[in-house]
Amino acid sequence: MNNKQPAIELRRVVKRYDDKVVVNNVDLKINQGECLLLVGHNGAGKTTLMKLILGLTRPSEGELQVLGDDPTRISSVARRGQLGFLPEIVSFQQAMTGKEVLTFYARLKGCSVKQCNDLLEQVGLQAAANQRVQTYSKGMRQRLGLAQALLGDPKLLLLDEPTTGLDPSLRQQFYNIIGEMQGKGTTSLISSHALNAFEARVDRVAIMKHGNLLACGTLAELGEQTALPVKMRITVAEGQTSRLAEHLGSYSGISQVNGQSVNLECHNNDKMIIIRRIAEFGDTVRDVDIVTPRLDDIYSYYMQDREQERLS
């Protein structure tokens, strides 16, 4: 049981701009050392939620605590050295070098400038440290943005579309860095459209639409809530598909039977029963391909489900 104070806690938080509600009665708790992925369509309220957590705007209703304090209070300003933020659009002074930019933010944040060289090396920018930012590619600016977010070994990281502009090898490097930070106890809130890239790298996923928090849980929990089917393709020796289909019985929803394979869908609770029945066929079975619901499947379910409710 986790008795620690949550890193972030929102209780029935509402944010309005004039008559428009952009965050609607959100209850969310993020534990210390947890990595949570925030997903939703453009305009879902993700960026506003981050602004609330950063203390850049106040909630219209509800209560919000970040690292045990109200982020808009003066007492919280002194604690901002414990927080790192990477915005979706990274913008730095073009005439400054990468090292000068990082040194500037280190002094602004009140942390040692000695850390700058190590961070530039960590994000792969050591060779470009003395080049002007105007010569940097989009991916290089993104890595410089990540380096400034990591200044001071923050307890909390807020990352908005952090892998934009990174090639596959650099994305892997980013995942490794976040994993290392989490190993040190850092809490991470990541907003991204790269759903499947993050699904195995985060503890929980929060899904937002039109300012509402539709669901929040582990991938397994969200899979249970949606009851999306597990899909299987069983390849057998020629002429054995009909026998296999009959043997599997009522536990499976067989969608296709052809010369050498059987395609089916089943509930997750029936998966092991079906696997055991397949195993009874022994060497007759040539291959089994199992596809469980992925995060993009779960996300699509919640988007369609709520849209149908709204239209009905």
Q: Let me know: does 259 contact 238? Beta carbons within 8 Å.
A: yes
274 — phi, psi (to 5°)? -65, -40
- Same domain? 63 vs 150: yes
**What is each CA distance from 50 to 5, 31, 85, 156, in whole angstroms?**
19, 16, 9, 12
Q: Provide the CATH number for the domain around residue 255.
A: 3.30.70.2860
CA distance 249 to 295: 29
CA distance 255 to 260: 14
Domain final residue pick, 223, 244, 269: 223
- Same domain? 218 vs 233: no
Question: Tens of pLDDT along 144-187?
Answer: 999 999 998 899 999 998 888 788 888 888 898 888 889 889 99
Question: Tens of pLDDT along 247-288?
Answer: 887 666 888 888 789 999 988 888 898 899 899 988 899 999
CA distance 17 to 309: 25
Q: How many residues does the chain have?
A: 312
CA distance 312 to 301: 16
The closest alpha carbon to 120, from 97, 96, 93, belongs to 97
Q: Provide the CATH number for the domain around residue 63.
A: 3.40.50.300
Residue 213's Cα: distance from chain center in Å? Answer: 14
Q: Let me know: does 209 contact 302? Beta carbons within 8 Å.
A: yes
Domain final residue pick, 194, 223, 252: 223
Asked whether residue 238 is domain-assigned, the answer is yes
- Same domain? 33 vs 68: yes
Whether pLDDT at 87 is above 70: yes
- Alpha-carbon dihedral of residues 200, 151, 92, 58, nearest 10 degrees? 80
Report the predicted TM-score, pTM, of the whole model to 2 decimal places.
0.86
- Same domain? 77 vs 164: yes
What's the pLDDT at 108? 86
Question: Tens of pLDDT along 94-143?
Answer: 999 999 999 999 998 888 899 999 999 989 999 999 999 999 998 899 99
Whether pLDDT at 6 is above 80: yes
Own/partner pairs, 303-306, CB within 8 angstroms, 24+ separation: 303/41, 303/209, 306/209, 306/212, 306/214
- Same domain? 25 vs 172: yes
Q: Let me know: does 23 contact 212? Beta carbons within 8 Å.
A: no
- Same domain? 169 vs 281: no
How many domains does one find in the chain?
2
| Tally of helices (H runs) and strands (E runs) in the chain | 11, 13
Whether pLDDT at 232 is above 90: yes
Q: Let me know: does 34 contact 142? Beta carbons within 8 Å.
A: no
Domain residues for the domain of 169 are 8-91+141-223
